[in-house]
C-alpha cells in the first residue's frame, strides 16, 4: 500500500475510534493477575480470523502479555475458528450491543482448553460499504479473566479503508482491507496494554 492510501486510513481511523470505544475496563481498579493471553476469533468468517491474527501480533509487539499464537490456538481448540454467540443482538449496518448476550459457557470451555489467564474474543459480524469507496469492518470484543471467564474489559471499533471528503482513492482491494485491520488492531492493542498496565 502506498503512503497516500495509508494516510487515508490513518485519517479515518481516529475519527471512527473517537465515536466508538477501542477498549475499556469494566473495573477501573483492575490489576492483572496473570500474564498469559490468547486472542480468539468469535466467528469463522475471513475478516474475523484475520482480525484475530493481527491482534495477536499487535499484542505480542505492544504488551508484556505472553500471547499464544493463532497456530497454538487452532491446535488446542477443535474446529477452530468456531461460531460463538457474541455480545450483540443484531448486526446489520451497525452492531446492536448487548454484552450479556455472550455464550459464557462456551467462552469458559475454550479458556480452560487453552489454559490462559486471559481470553480476548473478537467478533466481526458486519461490514458497511459507502459509495463503493469506503469499506468498514465493525468489530466488537470482550476480555475475560481466569477459569470463571469473568469479563474485565470490552470494546467496539471499526477497521476502515477508503476515502475522505478531500481525497479520493480507488475502491479498496483485499490488501487495503488487510492493512486497515492491521493498523486498527495495532491502535487498539496499545490501548489494551496501557489500560491493563501491561504496556512495554
Domains in the chain (CATH in brackets) are 3-195 (3.40.50.10610)
pLDDT in tens, the chain (200 residues): 443 444 333 334 443 443 457 999 999 899 999 999 999 999 999 999 999 999 999 999 999 999 999 999 999 999 999 999 999 987 776 788 999 999 999 999 999 999 999 999 999 998 877 766 767 889 999 999 999 999 999 999 998 887 554 455 556 567 878 888 999 999 999 999 999 999 99
Question: What region, left, alpha or beta, does residue 81 occupy, with left being phi > 0 and alpha being psi -120 to 50 degrees?
Answer: beta
pTM: 0.85
Residue 32 has phi, psi (to 5 degrees) of -60, 135
Amino acid at each position: 500500500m502506498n503512503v497516500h492510501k495509508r494516510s487515508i486510513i490513518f485519517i479515518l481511523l481516529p475519527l471512527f475510534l473517537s465515536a466508538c470505544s477501542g477498549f475499556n475496563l469494566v473495573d477501573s481498579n483492575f490489576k492483572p493477575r496473570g500474564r498469559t493471553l490468547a486472542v480468539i476469533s468469535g466467528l469463522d468468517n475471513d475478516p474475523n480470523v484475520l482480525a484475530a491474527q493481527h491482534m495477536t501480533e499487535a499484542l505480542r509487539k505492544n504488551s508484556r502479555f505472553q500471547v499464544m499464537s493463532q497456530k497454538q490456538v487452532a491446535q488446542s481448540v477443535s474446529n477452530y475458528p468456531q461460531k460463538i454467540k457474541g455480545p450483540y443482538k443484531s448486526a446489520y449496518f451497525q452492531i446492536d450491543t448487548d454484552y450479556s448476550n455472550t455464550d459464557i459457557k462456551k467462552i469458559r470451555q475454550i479458556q480452560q482448553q487453552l489454559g490462559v489467564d486471559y481470553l480476548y474474543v473478537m467478533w466481526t459480524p458486519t461490514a458497511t460499504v459507502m459509495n463503493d469507496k469506503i469499506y468498514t469492518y465493525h468489530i466488537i470484543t470482550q476480555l475475560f479473566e481466569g477459569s470463571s471467564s469473568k469479563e474485565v474489559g470490552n470494546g467496539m471499533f471499526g477497521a476502515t479503508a477508503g476515502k475522505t471528503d478531500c481525497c479520493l482513492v480507488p475502491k479498496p482491494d483485499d490488501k487495503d482491507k488487510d492493512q486497515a485491520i492491521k493498523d486498527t488492531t495495532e491502535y487498539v492493542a496499545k490501548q489494551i496494554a496501557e489500560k491493563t498496565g501491561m504496556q512495554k
